[in-house]
Amino acid sequence: MSTIDEISGCRILVAGPTGQVARPVVARLAQNNEVFALARFSKSEDEAAIQALGATTIAADLASDDLSGLPTDLDYALNYAVVKTGDFDYDLAANGEGAGRLMMACREVRAFVHFSSTAVYQYAGHQPRVESDPLGDNHRMMFPTYSISKIAAETVVRFVAHQFDIPTTIARLSVPYGDNGGWPFFHLLMMKEGIAIDLHPEHPNYYNLLHERDYIDKVPALCAVASPEVTTLNFGGSEQTSIEQWCEYLTELTGLEPLFKDNPQAFGSLAIDTTRMHELIGPTTVAWREGILGMVRSLAPDLLKPGYR
């Protein structure tokens, strides 16, 4: 079984290191590699926290700053950076143009991995999305610029990869979560406070939870399948589950009951077809119930029933 420890002694750039997904990746990579972490670092405490993980920080805004001074002789670049300000001009510049400018600044890498999102897919009910399915403005109601800027970023990434012959992977993340939180943890907090959880009326609402152990350990495989033709794949847990199911399990663990409210504007099902993912990088290993139990034990052990602590 491959793990992130297969990457060792390398120089690696990670863009967007302060985010929920990237931070544990930085922590693991920095144990055996020289890691450069690029972000705006508008909060000094965020920069200090990333430095404490063992990474060298680089303060830059992908929307506008000159990136020509980035470290040379990089082995890999991982782009987790994303902004969701709601300002189309800025978000397209940062997420779309910024991805391209980042690639051009480190175009000698052995692999560039761009982390996109299943939010690029047009809503299609319960049909699991395959990589060739139609794209659409999926997340408009909650994040006005998100889906469009993610689609724009993928287009820019493909163009730059083709123009400069950069081995590239585009990984469309489903729902990442783990011991540092994620969507299921937000739902647990809402259950605790008695806040209604919006659900799309076309029940159940399916997704593919991706645990942090899996998205960390899949990094070498994502790098290995990079190609100048650009390898695009769904990136989620091998198991499909639903908001209703994981909230039911949270009730089993804690006794807290969810309050569901149908809302046609809520995110609908975004389950993925994992066939291509399994062929290229293999299945995931963390079962969703195991992952959620670990998440609650890590973040809110006091909410667990005695038998689960």
Distances (CA, A) of 60 to 17, 29, 42, 71: 12, 21, 10, 13
| pLDDT for the residue numbered 267 | 86
Task: Parse the chain into domains and list their residue ranges.
Answer: 9-179+209-238+272-285
pTM of the model: 0.97
pLDDT digits (tens, 9 = 90+) for 98-110: 999 999 999 999 9
pLDDT digits (tens, 9 = 90+) for 123-167: 999 999 999 999 999 777 677 899 999 999 999 999 999 999 999
pLDDT digits (tens, 9 = 90+) for 263-292: 998 889 999 999 999 999 999 999 999 999
Q: Indicate the class that CATH gives domain 9-179+209-238+272-285.
A: alpha beta
